[in-house]
Structure 1
């Protein structure tokens, strides 16, 4: 019965995540329709990028909070546990308010440093300052949400945290459909703040049901709080550098032409869709297993679990990258090309998407490697690797932006991601005294060849559909649907004959579930 409950919970969580991603695509399509690829969307995406850069602090907060609160659940009274949670809420919110106020005061300087393209026109500059100041208010709700979701996850309650993206995207869609014409981009900035508030609020009923009640407590010298904030530092730095990299890319794009930031962001969103649905979820599932095996010092099983996880990631991400690369034009057409989003913007976004695709594979493998380092209590290596990645990315940006514009920024990100992933693989291989790199390499070749066969099939399908259909929208939709069916079939058949251990294992699991 417990196993069935786990399977049921996993399915519901996955459905909520997928639902959130589907609504995110609807949201982005509406943004493209209402605002196009213009300075208006550039301002919004730039401001949202700044907020996301700072939300990495909340990621570190949740990551370090969960094990400490889990320990309180096991060993402490409900009163002591409540006091600990309330102290974390108060202290983290206090510092978030200080950071928010400082950033609002210096928002003009932030634009001069990172969004210099907005300063060429006084009206655009003033509008960007106003939008940034509104959206920075989101940070308070992000912090509150981080602690509350940490509480829920430490009690193994995952539905509400998994539904956060879904409910916030509903807020955005309602605004874009009914209120955009009246309130414009400024109103959408306010709607974004409301969306972050709703993400926090959806967790409150479950939070209260678990017996938690907020009372003002502020103890900066509390030992649990101090240890938690110390543990946060390397994780926050590591994830902040990743977001900073995206923020710097937007800064480069801001100086190319108006709309470049939007082109870069939209191509990246499509590229990371499969990664965010599958790879991040797999990494979350693998992390406890690796941690348990590391504690038991069962190195053989640890290495096997690690290699199997990387192979599963490659089985999903390599064909996804190939399919998205081949179908980039119909995908961008279906998702974005309507209203103010022009043919030129669609072509520019498709071009950038092509150069982003290989990064998807590197991101998925890198996440597993990060979890592997964390499981053996090494947070320093992922942090250093993140800094190396951003330096490589900036250097390549300067070279490629002259010749390839926005596509050059996408390619620079991909090259940086591949290099840093390889460096992490080499580092972990040394740390574990070998992790069966040979098996990984041969699995990669088999999956890549299977994906290539699928890619040829998809290319032929796409060519036929687009050549024989008068409407680009109809042709794009037919191409995506038929490619998914035929391309997927070709890929699965190729994998079957390639005899990849992890794929055969997944097939056995599916057969067993169907039999039950």
Structure 2
């Protein structure tokens, strides 16, 4: 594999991911305009958080099926691959149906024990139980989506899985634009189920084009199936911890003030804007590449690709995190300041966002490291450390939210994510000794210096605009646009001046593809 293949592939996938993120911004803006930071928003965000815990099932399936199916692609015929995929699909569906049934049956008790503040208002409580029951139907489609998306990625087909979010967000936007006033929160819950169904179904044509087709296969004794589920259980536990941390923080927030859960969720979404566009694309692509190196027993290329991926993540995440902190109020205003979401909500989200931003970098690097462990068929290490992360987050949240309100919850998440990422990095070096830490640290230093210089420039540019221009949507949009353009050019120039390899590579592509025309 060429050294910069990860960067090339990431750029292609990012187009689809960016489209999905733009539509997600429109979705969230419409949602907050319709519901604001009210109890209705709290109910939906909390119920979605419960159901989203089960995304770990789909993620676990897609993650574990990739290295196993990669071996099948190298060694076995399509018939055998199809048999294995169908067996995984059917058993996963059976398990998911059971989970969905239990979830619907015990929705009352889930709300009672984990959102007990709602018990003070019978109408809110009953509405939350109703919404949760509807949204539990999404779990089946999350599982199916995990299987088919994993198969596509094992075949190095990334574009359709990357487009899933865009398709789902389009469904949300249609509902919020045309039907929300008629069908309200209940209709929004049904729309959520439909959105997850669409995420699954758009993968099917490409899945069939690769030669796969559905047949009823049900063999619990299959050795590869046992291997998959043995690998998957730790992955489910480790990947669910991010959602579990959010769920825990949302549950703490439910006891603060009306709209606190919505404020926390809004801060989380703004923080993860760049992470979900870029880091997810890189981790999606690096995983099958690392899996191939493990199959080939090529540990040197494995370590080089790992370091290259971490450098790429830091190249984008570090300046993005700093820029979002500096431009947080204009950014939140442009995204959400309309309808029932007012200027006081902007300030609340802005306060929470400051302490949340370090998670962008930590999550990005952590995702790469998790995928690296999974590709080496080590699923226990990420699981153990993720559990430690939950313990840290719960302990800190229980203390900090009493004194710092929602910002205390965001700070606990940042500390937990950063500590676990460092632990994973040290453990990876023990597993594969000889990782080039010193060059990687030097790259981080260069990126940090360039980011700080850029940060000073855009901070003073923002101040100049605020002093000299009338406030409002146009001002905020202008601030974001000008600061983004000037900041990006300055940052790119500085990283080129500092001779960061990844920037040099991007410049070489630009010269060869654009300047020669």
TM-score (norm 2): 0.93
Report the secondary structure of 2:53's partner residue.
Answer: helix
Q: Determine if the alignment matches structure 1 residue 325 to structure 2 residue 310.
A: no
Cα offsets for 1:262-314 (capped at 9, x unmatched): 11111111111111111122223333444444455555544433333222211
The 1-side partners of 2:307 and 2:46 are apart by 38
Residue range with higher mean Cα deviation, 216-225 or 380-389: 216-225
1:199 positional shift: 1.3
1:315 positional shift: 1.2
1:8 positional shift: 9.2
- Given that residues 93 and 140 in structure 2 are in contact (C-alpha distance below 8 angstroms), is that contact kept between their aligned partners in structure 1? yes
Residue range with higher mean Cα deviation, 434-443 or 322-331: 434-443
Show the counterpart of 1:479: 479
Residue range with higher mean Cα deviation, 22-31 or 370-379: 370-379
Show the counterpart of 1:176: 176
Query: How many residue pairs were aligned?
Result: 514
Residue range with higher mean Cα deviation, 430-439 or 395-404: 430-439
Show the counterpart of 2:96: 96
The 2-side partners of 1:316 and 1:433 are apart by 27
1:472 positional shift: 2.0
1:411 positional shift: 0.9
- Given that residues 241 and 386 in structure 1 are in contact (C-alpha distance below 8 angstroms), is that contact kept between their aligned partners in structure 2? yes
* Change beyond 3 A, Cα 1:500–1:16: closer
* Change beyond 3 A, Cα 1:94–1:382: same
1:63 positional shift: 1.5
The 2-side partners of 1:300 and 1:152 are apart by 27
Show the counterpart of 1:107: 107
Counterparts of 1:61-100 in structure 2 under 5 Å?
A: 61-73=61-73, 75-100=75-100
Show the counterpart of 1:223: 223
* Change beyond 3 A, Cα 1:228–1:25: same
Show the counterpart of 1:420: 420
- Given that residues 168 and 198 in structure 1 are in contact (C-alpha distance below 8 angstroms), is that contact kept between their aligned partners in structure 2? yes
- Given that residues 312 and 503 in structure 1 are in contact (C-alpha distance below 8 angstroms), is that contact kept between their aligned partners in structure 2? no
- Given that residues 69 and 151 in structure 2 are in contact (C-alpha distance below 8 angstroms), is that contact kept between their aligned partners in structure 1? yes
Cα offsets for 1:379-437 (capped at 9, x unmatched): 22211110111111111112211221001111111111111111222222333334333
Show the counterpart of 2:347: 347
* Change beyond 3 A, Cα 1:71–1:492: closer
Counterparts of 1:282-293 in structure 2 under 5 Å?
A: 282-293=282-293
The 1-side partners of 2:6 and 2:364 are apart by 24
Show the counterpart of 2:53: 53
* Change beyond 3 A, Cα 1:200–1:285: closer
The 2-side partners of 1:145 and 1:432 are apart by 33
Show the counterpart of 2:488: 488
Report the secondary structure of 2:393's partner residue.
Answer: helix
Show the counterpart of 1:509: 509
Q: Determine if the alignment matches structure 1 residue 32 to structure 2 residue 29.
A: no
* Change beyond 3 A, Cα 1:72–1:420: closer
1:202 positional shift: 1.6
Report the secondary structure of 2:31's partner residue.
Answer: helix
Q: Structure 1: state its 5+ residue gaps.
A: none
How well do the aligned residues superpose, as a CA RMSD in angstroms? Answer: 2.4
Q: Determine if the alignment matches structure 1 residue 237 to structure 2 residue 237.
A: yes
Residue range with higher mean Cα deviation, 354-363 or 59-68: 59-68
The 2-side partners of 1:436 and 1:156 are apart by 27
1:57 positional shift: 1.0
- Given that residues 260 and 406 in structure 2 are in contact (C-alpha distance below 8 angstroms), is that contact kept between their aligned partners in structure 1? yes
TM-score (norm 1): 0.93
- Given that residues 70 and 292 in structure 2 are in contact (C-alpha distance below 8 angstroms), is that contact kept between their aligned partners in structure 1? no
* Change beyond 3 A, Cα 1:300–1:415: same
1:448 positional shift: 1.2
The 1-side partners of 2:164 and 2:207 are apart by 14
- Given that residues 465 and 476 in structure 1 are in contact (C-alpha distance below 8 angstroms), is that contact kept between their aligned partners in structure 2? no
Show the counterpart of 1:136: 136
1:231 positional shift: 1.7
The 2-side partners of 1:298 and 1:216 are apart by 38
1:185 positional shift: 0.7
Cα offsets for 1:5-49 (capped at 9, x unmatched): 999976553222111110000000000000001111111111111
- Given that residues 315 and 447 in structure 2 are in contact (C-alpha distance below 8 angstroms), is that contact kept between their aligned partners in structure 1? yes
* Change beyond 3 A, Cα 1:69–1:436: closer
The 1-side partners of 2:49 and 2:411 are apart by 20
Report the secondary structure of 1:220's partner residue.
Answer: coil
* Change beyond 3 A, Cα 1:67–1:304: closer
